[in-house]
Amino acid sequence: MSLRCKITVVPRLLIILGFSTAIGLAQEVRSRPVGYLVQAVPAGQTRSFSVPFDADTSSLPNAVGALTGVGADYLENSAASWTAGAFSAAAAPYFVRLTSGPQAGRTFRITPPANTATRLYVADDGVGLATLGLTTGTDGTRFEIIPGDTLGSFFGTTTPTDTLVVQGAADVTQADIVQVWSGASWLNFYYNTAWQRWARDSDEPADPSRHSYPLRADRGIMITRRGGTPLELVVIGRVLNTPQQAFHAREENALTFLATMQTADITLGALALQDGTRSQGWRGSGDPTTADSLFVWSGASWHNFFYNNVVGHWQRVGDSADRDSYLITAGTPVFVQRRAAGATAADKTISFPAPGS
């Protein structure tokens, strides 16, 4: 997702601005609502953050089409005529979103080796492309290619033609921190003004720049504001027209930090991850130590929720109140923890509600 943010002073709100430019593609004309959202990180505090929109479709030729072939690690369109390597550069990541059929809403990152004129190599996160039943040919599963972002492209730099929107510093303790969940631990990044590049908190001067570290649109991040004023992040993009089908880890007790792609506030009850249409075999229990968990950052701590299938509602660990009405604000990501391992694509998928549903 290529959605640059900026520091600004405007009210916190969501505005539907209108419709994106229609795309004409051999009998296909589509337009999607465009959304605008402001999320604030108060001075001295930490906030969870995600962008609940898609970037616009790539401006490169044939960025929308139908699959004519699927392999273990690639998607193919025999009529594409793409420029070799155009979608495979580390400094400018791209993603493929499926837009039709039972797998609509899935997103895969385009990875090396370099794309060819007809083939995109992708990382499937272990769901197994060949197991998804994607159709090929004239009526093949449709897709669109969308640009992604990196630390440098989203949060900026100090180069003369760019703007750094977070507070950088020569000392990591004085700079704003961007945290990305690796699947096992937090990776902490900041902009080092002495080195004039993005860095990890453990980096030394000889280490490479982290400018091109990719930010996945389907994941959340944490931002700690060290500056003396609030950081207000403004994002704009297309509202999803199909629910997101998000990959989540299914090793026992693994945690995945997911963007829910909700453009408006939603309750735990409406998110309904325990529902069979949302997840495969969600484990509810009267005992939170054996139930699957959902963690939401409150601004000061993690609130741990579980679905109590004995009483039929969501609860927060430590109390017995009905938390179905607990509100998750637009753009707020959630940690998902599954107690049991799962092997199939369905096991590793969460289907979030359609935005606005």
Looking at the domain assignment, is residue 309 inside a domain? yes
* pLDDT digit string, tens, across residues 256-310: 999 999 999 999 999 999 999 999 999 999 999 999 999 999 999 999 999 999 9
Q: Of 170, 198, 216, which residue is a domain's last? A: 216
Q: Is residue 58 part of a domain?
A: no
23, part of any domain: no
173 plus 204 within the same structural domain: yes
Q: Residue 266 to residues 153, 233, 262, 295, 326: CA-CA distances in angstroms?
A: 29, 20, 7, 15, 8
SS (H, E, C) 197-237: EEEECCCCCCCCCCCCCEECCCECEEEECCCCCCEEEEEEE
Are 208 and 254 within one domain?
no
Total structural domains within the chain: 3
Boundaries of domain holding 268: 245-351
Place 18 in a pLDDT band, splitting at 50, 70 and 90: very low
Question: What's the whole-number mean pLDDT along residues 47-54?
Answer: 94
Position 55 confidence tier, pLDDT thresholds 50, 70, 90: confident
Query: Does residue 135 lie in a domain region?
Result: yes
Domain termination residue (choose one: 201, 216, 231): 216
Flag whether 251 is in a domain.
Answer: yes
Give the pLDDT confidence score for residue 355 in this predicted structure.
84
Q: Which segment of 8-12, 131-135, 159-163, 228-232 scores lowest on mean pLDDT?
A: 8-12
Residue ending a domain, choose from 131, 147, 163: 147
What would the pLDDT profile of 62-108 be if each residue is shown by its tens digit?
999 999 999 999 999 999 999 999 999 989 999 999 999 999 999 99
Q: Are residues 252 and 302 in the same domain?
A: yes
Q: What is the pLDDT of residue 242?
A: 85
Q: What is the mean pLDDT of residues 204-213?
A: 97
Structure tokens at 252: 């026992």
Domain-embedded: residue 21: no
Low-confidence winner among 11-25, 28-42, 323-337 (lowest mean pLDDT): 11-25
- Average pLDDT in the chain: 90
Examine the domain organization and report whether 178 and 102 are in the same domain: no
Give yes or no: residues 135 and 169 share one domain: no
What does the DSSP 8-state code read for residue 271?
A: H
- In this structure, the answer to whether residues 185 and 283 fall within a common structural domain is no
Q: Is residue 72 one of the residues assigned to a domain?
A: yes
In a domain, 55, yes or no: no
Evaluate whether 165 touches 6 at the Cβ level (below 8 Å).
yes
Whether 342 and 270 share a structural domain: yes
If asked whether residues 285 and 195 sit together in one domain, one would say: no
In Å, what is the CA distance from 281 to each residue of 149, 250, 254, 257, 340?
33, 11, 15, 19, 9
User: Which of the four pLDDT bands, split at 50, 70 and 90, describes residue 357?
Assistant: low
335 and 321 assigned to the same domain? yes
